[in-house]
Structure 1
Amino acid sequence: MDGVIGFFESLGPNFQILLERSPQVLDGVWVTALATVLGALLALAISFVLGLLQIAPIFIVRILARVFVEFFRGTSLVVQLFWLAFVLPQLPYPLGFQLDPLLIGVLALGLNYGAYGAEVVRGSIGSVPKGQYEAISALSLSPARGMFRIVIPQAWALMIPSLSNLWIQLLKGSAIVGSITLYDLFFQVEQVRDRTGTWFAYLFALVAYYLIAWVIVIVMNGLEIRAKHQIGRGPALSSSWRSLFRAPGATTKEGIA
């Protein structure tokens, strides 16, 4: 009982310390959010490029894309981050050059998670019914035009849930960028703990990571709703938007019907 009472009594001083250090911690939240967003955008671009190259009609292109994907999937994100930060600058000119820590973090996250995303893109395109490819021929569309007008819109709706999970993993993976002196949320929380001894900063970090992940889920759910509406799947758009913030497992009248 004394331990429980002591725990609650410590909340006040710990919270006060966190308030005093809030500008420092909020700077870390901003850096984490920025690295996550930029890393996710780069990963998305890489996912589509490599995903499409893996199904290209040219054999050597498919092989090269596959090697790239397997290399970044099969090596550690930490090693990739350290290589960009510490090995790349040591290479002889013109191969070696120094990058900004934020750019290094974004590149490492984008390349690593983009390789995983490429498999999501490839698998989603492969899941589109074969009849859609016959529709491309029936409409006299070129393969490239048919891919972007018919196949990819349907594959996009299929890949969003997997990409949503991948972006959350990217958010959690961003915690390692502090090891290259990028002052992200985890780095700033560690600094607060080292200088003040308060454990409360870790609780704040836990909540902050959860809230950022929650925003990612909401955004991706919104994109999924819109994507399904554009290809004529799912309930009416108005009812879908109303259910965006419903608790998991909740049903609407349209869903029951």
Structure 2
Amino acid sequence: MNTDRWTRRIMLLFAALTLLLAGCTTYVTTQVTAFSAWSGSDATRTYAFTRHEDQQNNLELTAYERIVANELAAQSFREVPRNEARYLVELAYGIRSDIVTIAEPVYYNPWPGPYWGRPFDPWGPWGPFPTAYVNQSYPVFTHLLGIRMTERASGKEVYNVSARNFGGESSLVRAMPYLARSALADFPLGNGAVHTVKIPVGNGGMAVTEVSMPAAAPAAASGTSGSSATKPGQ
């Protein structure tokens, strides 16, 4: 079994645990990976979004560009007409669905009430205890956002960052603000950087970098069923 398949299984397991603990979840956790040749300054942070010909009237992409534009503004970027921009910004996005099956215990209480005595302990040292396990299936969704920056004049790629998170949210629209904020939270990241970013659930949450470490050699992406995505250059 190759590394990608093991990685996917581990990610799905974490996503499943997230679903089981959804009532206690207060953060959205996103993995961010960046590749960078950034050398710009605040004075040169002018940009325009770029699209492929078949995306010109894509309303979904327009909505995501507005979300990303808000986060770029927080990093001193200024959107200008294309012919005045130093950088062109291109988005890639997608959502993939999977099903995770977990064996959950069914409990049996051999000591029915009433209960009395002190201290009050309805179960005592004998129970409850699992008598069987039932497989429960849960949908898990992977959300992805990629942001690619190139110099308009030379076409040179200067920054490429991707953000990915997992959970029971089936809407990419609702996941996109967390993806965009995570992707640009610590701009610019170093080349090959991998961060795990936690953002409080709700509006106006501050991004918190939880883990920062050098990236390992990138593995080739494996195809997965049940996915849809747009990719730069296609």
TM-score range, shorter chain: under 0.3
Scaled by the length of structure 2, the TM-score of the pair is 0.22
Q: Which has the higher helix share?
A: 1
Q: Which has the higher strand share?
A: 2
